[in-house]
Chain A
Amino acid sequence: MPKNKQAALPPKMLPGEVLRFEDVRLSFGELKILQGVSFSVFAGEFVILLGENGAGKSTLLRLANGLLKPDIGAVAVCGHDTRQVKTSLIAKEVGFLFQNPDRQIFNKTIREEIEFGMKLHGIPTRPSYTEFRIPDFALDDDPFTLSRGERQRVALASVLACEPRLMLLDEPTVGLDDSEARQLMDAVKRRQRENNAAVLLITHDLELANAYADRKLLLERGRVADADILSWEDFSAQA
């Protein structure tokens, strides 16, 4: 049973809306993480979430796919109220990339790893592996022999291969060099446009945020606000 007792009324979603936070509050013991977060993400939007370390960005992403349930308020994703459905049931529509790819990878080969989600959700199409710069000859290699950047690409490939309606990406470019980071972001942007999907991505890289975001959100003191941030000076001023 969800901890949140307001579960009777599922939040209504607007046409095209894939994610809706409605006055979400969440605490860990005495620590108040989110204090009334409300925002929406629509299909075809590339939204970047900014905020200082420890602001609760990763927690917000976990709320978005139901891994965490709000204490108060509601989160609706792809027509589901996260308080009512299991995360594994909405995983087909909501792709989630964790900051550390090693939490996600466990199959013996890269091919099995990428196709794992597809098989689980009954998706027959073969993903274009080359899009993620994984040459075909390496597909039968052990993913744990790859570098961190390569493992991150494999983890992303396995998320994108399922063609989710909403992609939740937690700092996918951490540990990648500039060129690798841009190639990864290009791949995400391309898939997002092709499928008219929505992206909610966390990053600390303002250059990337300015280059790829349709909209930027700032999480500060437990609340989310639309942010027009172009530089770190702006970031400090808004924070």
Chain B
Amino acid sequence: MLTYYPGKTFLHRLDPTLKVLFAFTISTACFVFANIFVLLGILLFEFLLALSCGLWKWGLRSILGLLKLCALLFVIQILTYGDGDVLLRLYGDWVITFEGAEIGLILTLRITASALPLALMLRVTKPTALANSLYRYLHIPYKYAFAFGMAMRFIPIFAEEMAEIMEAQTARGVELDTRSFFKKIRLLMPLCVPLLLSSVRKIETATISAELRGFGLRKRK
């Protein structure tokens, strides 16, 4: 989902620090505006940016995925906001109002539109280039920049490992191929142990390997 997608488009070639600032600006704009149409416009703009990088399928999937995730927030919002004109009377004094629905929709669009630019930035930026750029232009200590780059590098590896662990447990008879989301979550909990252990081992090995090659000796000039 967040792995680097190689390409030579304008966004790919843009300096990583500029991309970070650009992404943060768009995300901040989502929290400044509270208008559904403006937020929809921002979402459309983000989709066009993804399209320009050849990532329209990913963009569409991400928007739909985020909207699905936010659906729960939307439901909670409309069920708990009681002020304003009544849209639907549920039970007794319990009502759904126009204002509640509007705030719920704004919340949903806001979260979706603010998450997408950062995800897109990560998809069109090499983790090492991002770390180097953050160190050079924003003067972030290189240890932290390196740690950030490594974390980004490990995301797809961990995702692959989790998929393998799930396969292994399904092959043993654990019902991870169930369609029930909640059952899957419950069954997944104990499986985080092997993932955590392998993650810690990998990070420990990477740290030792980096230190053995002189990581930490360099001083800023």
Residues in chain A within 8 A of chain B (CB atoms): 62, 65, 67, 86-88, 91-92, 94, 96, 98, 100, 102-106, 116-117, 120-121, 144, 158-159
Contacts and interface: CB of A to CB of B under 8 A. Distances in A.
A117 B170 CA distance: 11
Contact of A88 (B164, B176, B190, B191): B176
Which size bracket describes the interface of B in this complex? 20 to 34
Given A86-B177, A144-B197, A103 B164 contact: yes
A104 B177 contact: no
A88 B167 contact: no
Contacts of B193: 106
B174 interface: yes
A91 B197 contact: no
Given A86-B178, A158-B172, 14 more contacts: A86-B177, A87-B170, A87-B171, A88-B174, A88-B177, A91-B172, A94-B171, A96-B171, A96-B172, A98-B171, A103-B167, A103-B168, A106-B165, A121-B173
Interface of B: 161, 164-165, 167-178, 190-191, 193-194, 197-198
A91 B161 CA distance: 21
B177 A117 contact: no
Contact of B172 (A62, A86, A102, A104): A104
A87 B190 contact: no
Contacts of B169: 104, 106
B172 A117 contact: yes
Contacts of A104: 168-169, 172, 194
Contacts of A116: 172
B133 to A, nearest CB: 31
9 shortest interchain CB distances as A-B pairs = A91-B173, A96-B171, A103-B168, A104-B168, A86-B177, A88-B175, A120-B173, A106-B193, A87-B170
Nearest to B171: A96
A231 to B, nearest CB: 33
Given A98-B164, A103-B165, A91 B170 contact: yes
A106 B176 contact: no
Given A102-B194, A102-B197, A106-B194, A92 B173 contact: yes
A106 B189 CA distance: 11
Contacts of A100: 164
B195 to A, nearest CB: 9
Contact of B194 (A87, A103, A158): A103
20 contacts: A67-B167, A67-B170, A67-B171, A86-B175, A86-B178, A87-B170, A88-B170, A88-B173, A88-B178, A91-B172, A94-B171, A98-B171, A100-B164, A103-B194, A104-B172, A104-B194, A106-B191, A106-B193, A120-B174, A158-B172
